[in-house]
Structures are given as structure tokens and as C-alpha cells.
Amino acid sequence: MLKNTLETVSRGVLGRVLVLSALLLAGLFLAPGPNAQAATPTDNAVYEGFITLARIFYEVNVKFVEEPDSTEMVNGAVRGMLSTLDPHSSYLTPEEMNEFQQEAGGSFTGVGMELSVKDSVVTVVAPIEDTPASRAGVMSGDQIVNIDDKSTKDMSVMEVVKLIRGPLGTKVTITVNRPSMKRSYTFTLVRDHIPLRSVRSEELTPGISYIHISNFQGDTAFEVEKAISTLVTASTRGLILDLRNDPGGLLEQAIKVSGLLIGPAMIVETKGRVNDQNVLYNSDQQAVLPVNLPLVVLVNEGSASASEIVAGALQDYGRATILGTKTFGKGSVQNVVRLQDGSGLRLTTARFYTPSGRPIQSEGITPDVEVPSVLPPNYKPTREVDLERHLLGVNEKAGSRSKNELVEVEEKENFDEFEAPPLPDKPVREMTLAERLDFDKQLNQAVELLNKGQIKSGFNGLAPKRRQKKALG
């Protein structure tokens, strides 16, 4: 009797799984593009793969020593599928989707780090300005290996984020490897409200205005326009736009900010495998910054995505002088789709190209004036090209880079022997201008060039000439 009951249940489970697989396959074969063709050998391989997946799900669901959580198994299968793609495609549970939307809205409680995956380890892309992480000395490229003595091995970015975030005012201790220095550090950070205030501005010196964008969120263009209207007067001799350690954000805001500086123009192009991803994005903004006012844009290894779009457009049009170090090189488009259960799919669908046709993915933006960042000796920053499974750039060949070896975690008792990263003695906002310029060589160079009248706007309102070489779509 027991055996018959088990067989009945088993057939029911297998039947439901096979129905699910059939529905998935129906979507694959019954909804092809306009140029529909018969199933190919590749399609048949996919079919066989779904049958294998259904059988494995059935075997586990029925025969595993303890009753498994079917929802967790499905989530794990989806995450596994997406993990074969690039580091920016991911599955978001309903809880994670809500957190993602909170961040897009401009605030969360945590320590202030943009994270990705490199060499199968969750890695810091950039610390967010004026947050517990940046004040403690966390740097781009740091590998997060322990959180409160819990190993992060095999954890996803979202799992790490869950451990790092917590109630306001509570502490979290993280251990990081700094591979380029072959050393490890521990940081005990107090969780804080991270408002992600995207725009800060000031008159740096008489005649030189300064605007810093920490990320591109819903009100960024509005705040930049307000800052320009307040700071730029008849006596202004130049503007510094600081995009350093800006991990990106909303594409529409990057386009609007670019438009505020150059007016109506084509800002960025996207190219993907599906036709609706091949788009020229134009700004319809009227320029609020005088087009002949000297403009310097600061970038570094932490400038990514939307910040690279702005820097690339301004460079192509000759509107600004780009100063600093080569940017991160994150030039891919992610579409976020909310699914019926409140979860979400974040999927890479296209590559970004500057107005002249330069690819951003893996290439980044090379500054016109190179000035090194304030970094420890022998420190090698992490860029998109270093990330595991990164989307190849147009000029990059598969397998052209060898995988970096992970640095083993040093014994905890040796942490105090490690060289501390270079940090100012006090927060930037508390420094005098002289102290700030002495510490920040990139900002110092921008001010010096503007004071000497060596920055000229080459913008003439015309679109840059498109390159003849066809870019990979």
C-alpha cells in the first residue's frame, strides 16, 4: 500500500515537472522570431537538457533523504543557469527585488559598497563616497572573504549583501583580501543610513566650481541642473565634474546630465542580439552650462557604467577634458523584469558605445590627461575585464587573459603587521582646500590646469564622426 501511494505521488510530481518543462519548451519553439525556422540540432539539445532537468528535479523531490524545499530548488536552478552568463545577470527573489528598488530610490542601511564577482569571490567595485566603508579604507578590488567570521566561499553577491546589511548603528566585521598587495585586512564597520545623495557641489576656489556625482539616481539630473544654476556665474572660469568611484545607475539620468552640458545630441548607442536593443539614445535637454566654459571631468578605476557614458560622450564631442585614470569598463545594459511572484530577472541584453562608436565594455574610457589615483604601492585595481565571465569587449578574444590566482587569507594575528591604505587624516569635508589638494593629486591637477587657462572647450555642436569599423553587436 505504501509503495503504491509513493508511486502515485511520484508520478504526480514527475507529471507536474514535465508539464513545466513542456511549457518552457513551448515558449522556446512556439514563439520564435519573425524568421521562424524548423528546430535545429541546438534546439534538440536544449530539449534534451530540459528533460534531464525535469528528471533530476523529480528524483531529488521524491527520493532525497529529507523532504527538500521545492522553491529553493527552483531558485537554485535559475541562479545556476544565470551564473553561466556574465557577472551582471542575476535572479532576484521578491525580497531582493524590493531591496533593489529601494537602492534605485536612493537609500538603504549598510556600509556603502558596490559589489560584483571576480574569480568566484565577491569583490568590491568601489566604496561609496563618505560611507563607513570608504572612511575605513575599503578599496576597489578588495575580495570579501569573511563576514563576522563566516566564510563567503560560494556565496552570491546578494547573499553577501544580506550579511553586511543590518539595523542602523549595529556593527559588522569584514575580512578582505587585497590580491595585488598579497595582504589581508579586517574592518569593523558601524552600519549607517546610506542616503546615496547623488550630487554634491561647491565653489572650490574663486572662479572654479565643483560638482561630484556619486551615482545616477532618479533626481540626479535635476540636482546637477540646480547646482550649475547656483554655482556658475559670469565670473566662473571653469567647472570640475567629479565622476570618480561612481558605479553608475540609471541610463536616462546619464543621458539627461550629458544633455545639460552639451545640449540636444546623441549620447550613447546600444547594440544587442535582439533588434529592439539596437537603439540610439538622444538627449533632448537644453544645455545649461555655457558651451565655451572650460570643463574637466575626473574619472578613475571606480567610474563605471553610467559615469562612463557621460565621460565618453563629453570626450567624443570635445566638450570636456577627461582627467584621471582609465575607467572600470562596465559597458553592458541590464534590463530588470519583475516576474509574477514579485521576483526579478536582471539580464544583460546589449553593449554600450560612445557617440563615435567606441565600445565601453572591457575597454573603459581612457583619460586625456592621466594622473594616478592615491593608491598603495603595487596596488592593482580591479576592472570589468578582471571579472569572471565578463562580457567580452569588441577587441578582446576569449581566453586572452589568464585567471588570477586567489590570495590565501593570512592568519588573523598578523593583520596588524599589514601596511594601511593611504587615507586622509580627516573626512574630506573637514579639510582645508590646501589639505585637500595636497592629498588629492587628480583634483589638484584639474585646478592647476584651469587656473593656467590650459583647458579649452572644443565643442562645436556637431556630432563626432562615426568610426568606419563595424562594432560587434
Report CA-CA distances (Å) from 217 to 191, 223, 374, 382: 22, 10, 27, 24
Residue 455 has pLDDT above 70, yes or no: yes
Q: Are residues 203 and 190 in the same domain?
A: no
Q: Are residues 228 and 248 in the same domain?
A: yes
Q: Are residues 190 and 63 in the same domain?
A: no
187-191, 196-200, 323-327: range with lowest mean pLDDT: 196-200
Q: Are residues 155 and 60 in the same domain?
A: no
Q: Extract the C-alpha cell encoding 23.
A: 511549457
3-state helix vs strand vs coil in the chain, percent to 5: 35, 25, 45
Residue 471: half-sphere exposure toward Cβ, Cα within 13 Å: 25
Nearest to 261 by CA among 223, 302, 304, 292: 292
Q: Known catalytic residue: 330?
A: yes
Which one of 118, 256, 326, 330 is the catalytic residue? 330
Q: Is residue 391 part of a domain?
A: no
Residue 391: half-sphere exposure toward Cβ, Cα within 13 Å: 26
Q: Are residues 19 and 164 in the same domain?
A: no
Phi, psi of 39 (to 5 degrees): -60, 140
Q: Are residues 284 and 432 in the same domain?
A: yes
Q: At what angle do helices 41-63 and 70-82 cross, to 10 degrees?
A: 150
412-431 pLDDT, tens digit per residue, is 333 333 444 556 666 666 67
Number of domains in the chain: 3
The Cβ of residue 405 has, within 10 Å, a number of other Cβ atoms equal to 8
For residue 152, the domain's CATH number is: 2.30.42.10
Q: Is residue 470 part of a domain?
A: no
Q: Is residue 188 part of a domain?
A: yes
User: Band of the pLDDT at 128, cuts 50, 70, 90?
Assistant: confident
Q: Are residues 294 and 354 in the same domain?
A: yes
Q: Known catalytic residue: 162?
A: no
Structure confidence at residue 243 (pLDDT): 97
Q: Are residues 426 and 297 in the same domain?
A: yes
Q: Which residues contact 111 (CB under 8 A, 6 or more apart)?
A: 131, 132, 133, 138, 164, 172, 174, 189, 191, 192, 194
User: Band of the pLDDT at 435, cuts 50, 70, 90?
Assistant: confident
Which of 205 and 31 is assigned the larger pLDDT? 205
Structure confidence at residue 473 (pLDDT): 31
Q: Known catalytic residue: 119?
A: no
285-309 pLDDT, tens digit per residue, is 999 999 999 999 999 999 999 999 9
Q: Is residue 412 part of a domain?
A: no
Q: Is residue 214 part of a domain?
A: yes
Q: Is residue 362 part of a domain?
A: yes
* Contact of 338 with 97, CB cutoff 8 Å: yes
Q: Extract the C-alpha cell encoding 416.
A: 596588524
247-280 pLDDT, tens digit per residue, is 898 999 999 999 999 999 999 999 999 999 999 9
Structure confidence at residue 151 (pLDDT): 92
* Contact of 198 with 223, CB cutoff 8 Å: yes
Q: Is residue 378 part of a domain?
A: yes
Q: Are residues 248 and 374 in the same domain?
A: yes
Q: Which residues lie across from 346 on neighbouring strands?
A: 90, 336
Q: Are residues 136 and 100 in the same domain?
A: yes
Instruction: Quote the pTM value.
Output: 0.73
Q: Which residues contact 341 (CB under 8 A, 6 or more apart)?
A: 94
Over residues 131-141, mean pLDDT: 87
Q: Are residues 210 and 321 in the same domain?
A: yes
Which one of 214, 305, 307, 332 is the catalytic residue? 305
Over residues 30-59, mean pLDDT: 70
For residue 304, the domain's CATH number is: 3.90.226.10
Length of the chain as a residue count? 473
Nearest to 224 by CA among 324, 129, 149, 297: 297
Residue 190 lies in domain: 90-194
Which one of 130, 242, 316, 386 is the catalytic residue? 316
Q: Are residues 293 and 437 in the same domain?
A: yes
Structure confidence at residue 99 (pLDDT): 73
Q: Is residue 459 part of a domain?
A: no
Tell me which residue has cell 546610506: 194
